[in-house]
A and B are shown apart, each in its own frame.
Chain A
Amino acid sequence: MATADERLLLWINSLVGEVPLVDTAMRMVANDYFIPLILSLALLGLWFEGRESAQRERHQRAVLSAAISLGIACGIVKLANLFYFRSRPFQDIPYLVDTANRILYLPGDSSFPSNAAAVVFAIATAIWLADRKVGAWLYFLAFLMPLARVYAAVHYPLDIVGGAAIGVLCSYFVFKVFLPLIEPGLSPLFKWLRKLCLA
């Protein structure tokens, strides 16, 4: 008997092939480059964005927080993969192999938790904590990539929820706990970056 997770996956996956344009869009969004590249460029832009230096420093701290968070999130996902393995949907349901191949590729590592979801949600949350407006846009993009991966049958919806939770929690931890802890080191860093006219 199929679990709710499987049923939701099969429902989303049933849309594959219905509208070719949606398939093309999902292929674009699901790959390892498109959304991460947009998010990374957004971080670069955000570093320099702001008319007031206080606003800019808030953005720069968020960018720093995003970089640290995504590193920690990736580490937690790798660690989780050592202790727990969940097979991919296309491995459990063989007829989904064609779909996965058409939209993305066939990854061999553990399905849970989703590394992609952890990374994009870590970045979006770090920015959202500093700037709600930009953060909301990044959350929208962050939501699209994992959705496309469920569409492609390379992840179950629960993998996405797990990955996103790791990303969000890592960003909260870094922003609220880790950055204040390393504040004595951050202030001289920003002072030097300002001296170099880069902050």
Chain B
Amino acid sequence: MTGHLAEEYFLVVFVASGGVLQLIAARNSFKGLLFFNRVKLTYALAILAVGGAFGWFFGCDNRLETEITRTGLEGAQQFLYFTSAAFSSLIFTLIVTSLIRGVSVRYPNKCKQPGLDMLREMSYIEAIEQSFGIRLKKREDSKSGDSG
């Protein structure tokens, strides 16, 4: 029973964390973290993700009666599942937004502010390229130039 609850808990945290990340990214104009360009659509998605995840976990399958109020996960297990699910959600967001934004915009301009502020102007993968001074795309270009 605990194993089943652990998977469900991981899922609720994963989805709700994704919603929270979208909400905060929209609030603070971190365009590099947004799935959609339209802020209202992002807010709607975020509310749906957080509300839906909570509604499903606490409201469906009579989980409150059968598992949630009958213990289940220990505090340390909860902490472990929460951190791994939230981190997975962050990685998922960074990968998906990099794929979406990498296609539409490449290096709009150099960002002077380091850290998270870079995500206001570029995708995560572009920010990492700039932050570490590497250019994955250029390298690919030079390789193709060498071979030609």
Residue positions of A touching B, CB distance < 8 A: 27-28, 30-34, 36-37, 40-41, 44-45, 48-51, 53, 56, 74, 103-105, 107, 115, 119, 193-199
Contacts and interface: CB of A to CB of B under 8 A. Distances in A.
B78 A197 contact: no
Nearest to B127: A197
A48 B24 contact: yes
Contact of A198 (B20, B23, B72, B116): B116
21 contacts: A32-B71, A32-B78, A33-B9, A41-B16, A44-B21, A48-B30, A50-B28, A51-B28, A56-B116, A74-B75, A105-B69, A105-B70, A105-B71, A119-B75, A193-B115, A194-B114, A195-B115, A196-B128, A196-B131, A197-B119, A199-B115
B28 A34 contact: no
Interface residues of B, number: 42
Nearest to A104: B69
Contacts of B69: 27, 30-31, 103-105
A194 B33 CA distance: 15
A197 B58 contact: no
A47 to B, nearest CB: 8
A195 B28 contact: no
A184 to B, nearest CB: 20
Contacts of B17: 41, 44
Contacts of B119: 197
Contacts of B30: 48
Interface string B122-141: 00100110011000000000
Contacts of B28: 48-51
A107 B132 CA distance: 51
A57 B116 CA distance: 11
Contacts of A119: 75
A51 B117 CA distance: 8
B68 A31 contact: yes
Interface of B: 9, 12-13, 16-17, 20-21, 23-25, 27-30, 33, 50, 54, 57-58, 64, 68-73, 75, 78, 82, 86, 113-119, 124, 127-128, 131-132
Contact of A37 (B12, B72, B117, B118): B12
A53 B64 contact: no
Nearest to A152: B69
B42 to A, nearest CB: 14
Nearest to B63: A33
Contacts of B131: 195-197
A21 to B, nearest CB: 15
Contacts of A44: 17, 20-21, 86
B117 A34 contact: no
A50 B68 CA distance: 34
B21 A48 contact: yes
A162 to B, nearest CB: 17
A33 B128 contact: no
A41 B83 CA distance: 10
A195 B114 contact: yes
Contacts of B12: 37
B7 to A, nearest CB: 14
